[in-house]
Structure 1
Amino acid sequence: MTFKNVTLHIGRHKSGTSSLQHWLGLNRETLADNGVLYPLSGASNQIAHHQIAEALKQNATQDVMAIAEDILKERKGQETLLLSSEAFQNLEDLDGMKNMLAHLGAENVTVICYVREHLDYAVSAYRQLVHAQTKSPSFSKYCFRFHSIAPFFQRWRSVGDLQLALYHRDLLKNGDIIEDFCEKTGLPFKEMHLGDRNPSIGGNLLVYKLFANRLGMEGLTYAAMRELALAEPRFRSAFFVSDEAAASLRANSKYNASIEVELGLPPLKSWEKYRKLPDLETLESDFEHISEATRTQFDEEMLTKAKRSQRVFVLSPDVLQ
């Protein structure tokens, strides 16, 4: 027994994936009753299929095929299989994916991918990078590394029918990623107020984590920062980027040019209303508050370096260190 249709949701990162995946996980039974299997197999967290993505990335063929067999065992007559993981976007070699789909008997494969405008994506993804990893590049160094995304589109078109969409609140159905995805896939939409499941950190919390990364602070957990960002809006806020710097980046953006070929010119957002980082007015008190909330300890060196870090958060081709 195999699947007539397979839908792959591949992200991209920071396009409402966590909220969508939680909704899909919570509505597994409803989806199954409507002929769509959103399997538990390959989703070790019961939400998203990152386990499949990791096995494919590691070329762990036996693991991939074992998961595929488990998916087939879950099938109770559903003709459509739905898999979701933003980690799929990181796969360079898609032969393993194609082999898995063949093993599942996929007749029709649809690949759904939401993309964001260059600077919009960079502002969000940079904050996520600092939050989730131990890296600490300047914003400029991170932002100017983006190249054309056309090869990515080409790779995924070799897998199935690639359906692209811009991730922007004004363009999503009723401003909602879940409702928009349901409309694109024909899934029954059921409103659930899930909120932002994975906010990017911001404000002086972003400054704190960046210098924690640079100085090797231990004990600062992703979950503690996530809870702080959810509780206090200033700790999930974006940061100031001048319109002049934004225009300069966009004028030479091969990333945006490749998106425009597919979807037209994406909406252009301004970040001039946000506060510059570090926010010196509250930096010391914020550091003390963050230290207490996350049960970590900063020292005078970290605070001093943070006070002098304006260039880290400036967008300029002259600041690439």
Structure 2
Amino acid sequence: MEEVLLHVGMHKTGTSSLQATLAGYDDGDTVYAQLGQSANHSVPVYTAFSSQPGAYHHWRALGLGPSQVEDRRRGFLNRLDALLARPDRRRLILSGEDISILDPQGKTALIGFLRDRVPRLDVVCYLRSPGGYALSAFQQRIRGGGIAALPPVCDPLYRLRTEGFRDDPRVSRLRVREFARDKLKGHDIVEDFAALTGLDTARMTRRTRNEGMSAAATKLVYCFNRTMPLRDGDRVLQAARLALGAEIAAAYPGPGLEAARVACLAEHAETPWLRDAFAIDFTAALQDAAPPREALEAHMADLSGIPMAPLDALLAEKAISGRFPAPADKLLRLYLWHVGKTQERTERQARRAEATPSPG
């Protein structure tokens, strides 16, 4: 390889759709990295280069210990090393939102590893406004992260995400762009990224990943998070929680939370720095008055306007009968069903693996 094209997010800028579309991309010159089962390279790259990979939320949610994380770290490094050694392609694409939140030591290690193997490193980062990021991040942390309380803020961390790449002379080029539909080519992240980096959209299979939730679904999942203390700790619990979130999101379509309601979580402190560093100006949003946190907390706790028929239908589909009068009761019962089914599936897979003879 002669070059690495490193896309580092940020979070909530269409990265899931971009990664799903780029998965399998290979035009004979540029190839999208395959580092595991996911098209998102956050876990492999963050694990490989973080100064504290064992503290990574992904592994903590799965209950992995230090030796297990270290085994995975070595495996990811070996896989990446092999990809960079390919003589038949010129450029390798890596894409992961969590790459941008590597600690400074981790970024330095990543840059050094890549530049020791290729002569050119091109970094691309899209940044979202504080308010837009807060809205999307809050909903995602409820569904994907399982938070059970309002965070102090949803900080976009502009400086952490970009400064390490900007200030390291081994980075050949850093391009930072504003993520706003009217600023993107074709009003589309895939088209914009392709035009920016010289990729051929005709070779891509468009795949859209919409991880958003309606306001009703967001409130229900938040209610579940606040009610069930044991939501993570191993693969079964994590998979069951994510399955429940996906099921609730599908059962309750509709508009998401209003941005104004979540404005109290937006963090604007680094907008002047961002304006001066990259000429991206989000400072105008500082003038907007945000409602108090208490108003958002009360809104999230109010389930009175949410119909229970979709939840009851989910219970009925699973042949679950019984007395579950409150929304939290229904949600917990559905979660326990998913835990049981996930455990059964995990045990079946383990038995099949034991019955399969090792090659050679």
TM-score range, shorter chain: 0.7 to 0.9
Alpha-carbon displacement from aligned partner over 1:161-193 (angstroms, at most 9, x marks no partner):
221111111111111111100011011112644
Which of these residues, 196, 215, 225, is aligned with residue 213 of structure 1? 225
Alpha-carbon displacement from aligned partner over 1:266-287 (angstroms, at most 9, x marks no partner):
4969999xxx654632244455
Aligned residues: 282
Single out whichever of 84-93 and 221-230 deviates more from structure 2. 221-230
- CA RMSD, aligned part only? 3.6
TM-score by length of 1: 0.74
Cα distance, 1:152 vs structure 2: 3.2
- What CA distance in whole angstroms lies between the structure 2 residues aligned with 1:65 and 1:175? 36
Kindly indicate whether the alpha-carbon contact (under 8 Å) linking 2:11 and 2:97 is maintained by their aligned counterparts in 1: yes
Residue 99 of structure 1 corresponds to which residue in structure 2?
A: 112
* Residues 289-300 of structure 1 mapped to structure 2, 5 A cutoff: 300=326
1:165 partner SS: strand
2:93 partner SS: strand
Cα distance, 1:125 vs structure 2: 0.7
Alpha-carbon displacement from aligned partner over 1:84-142 (angstroms, at most 9, x marks no partner):
111212210213202321332x2121111111000100100111011112322226x33
Kindly indicate whether the alpha-carbon contact (under 8 Å) linking 1:156 and 1:162 is maintained by their aligned counterparts in 2: yes
Name the one with the larger helix percent. Answer: 2
Residue 45 of structure 1 corresponds to which residue in structure 2?
A: 37
Cα distance, 1:67 vs structure 2: 2.3
Q: Which amino acid aligns with 1:136?
A: A
Task: Report the structure number with the largest CA radius of gyration.
Answer: 2
Q: Which amino acid aligns with 2:46?
A: A
Which of these residues, 153, 162, 171, is aligned with residue 142 of structure 1? 153
Alpha-carbon displacement from aligned partner over 1:31-80 (angstroms, at most 9, x marks no partner):
3x1x112222xx2115232322222224657445412332135x242221
Kindly indicate whether the alpha-carbon contact (under 8 Å) linking 1:19 and 1:194 is maintained by their aligned counterparts in 2: yes
Cα distance, 1:298 vs structure 2: 6.3
Kindly indicate whether the alpha-carbon contact (under 8 Å) linking 1:4 and 1:80 is maintained by their aligned counterparts in 2: yes
Task: Point out where structure 2 has 5 or more consecutive residues left out of the alignment.
Answer: 54-69, 232-236, 292-298, 330-360
Single out whichever of 166-175 and 185-194 deviates more from structure 2. 185-194
Task: Point out where structure 1 has 5 or more consecutive residues left out of the alignment.
Answer: 304-321
Residue 238 of structure 1 corresponds to which residue in structure 2?
A: 256
Shift in CA distance, 227/23, structure 1 to aligned 2, threshold 3 Å: farther
Shift in CA distance, 201/242, structure 1 to aligned 2, threshold 3 Å: closer
1:226 partner SS: helix
* Residues 1-321 of structure 1 mapped to structure 2, 5 A cutoff: 3-26=1-24, 28-29=25-26, 31=27, 33=28, 35-40=29-34, 43-49=35-41, 50-57=43-50, 58=52, 62-63=74-75, 65-73=77-85, 75-92=86-103, 93=105, 94-104=107-117, 106-138=118-150, 141-143=152-154, 146=155, 149-157=158-166, 158=168, 160=171, 161-190=173-202, 192-195=205-208, 197-216=209-228, 220-226=240-246, 228-229=248-249, 233-234=253-254, 237-242=255-260, 246=263, 253-261=268-276, 262-266=278-282, 277=300, 278=302, 280-285=304-309, 287-288=311-312, 300=326, 302=328
Shift in CA distance, 147/179, structure 1 to aligned 2, threshold 3 Å: closer
Shift in CA distance, 82/241, structure 1 to aligned 2, threshold 3 Å: closer
2:176 partner SS: strand
- What CA distance in whole angstroms lies between the structure 1 residues aligned with 2:307 and 2:20? 34
Shift in CA distance, 223/147, structure 1 to aligned 2, threshold 3 Å: closer
Kindly indicate whether the alpha-carbon contact (under 8 Å) linking 2:217 and 2:252 is maintained by their aligned counterparts in 1: no
Shift in CA distance, 115/231, structure 1 to aligned 2, threshold 3 Å: farther
TM-score by length of 2: 0.66
Residue 342 of structure 2 corresponds to which residue in structure 1?
A: none
Cα distance, 1:263 vs structure 2: 3.3
- What CA distance in whole angstroms lies between the structure 2 residues aligned with 1:85 and 1:204? 29
Shift in CA distance, 173/91, structure 1 to aligned 2, threshold 3 Å: same
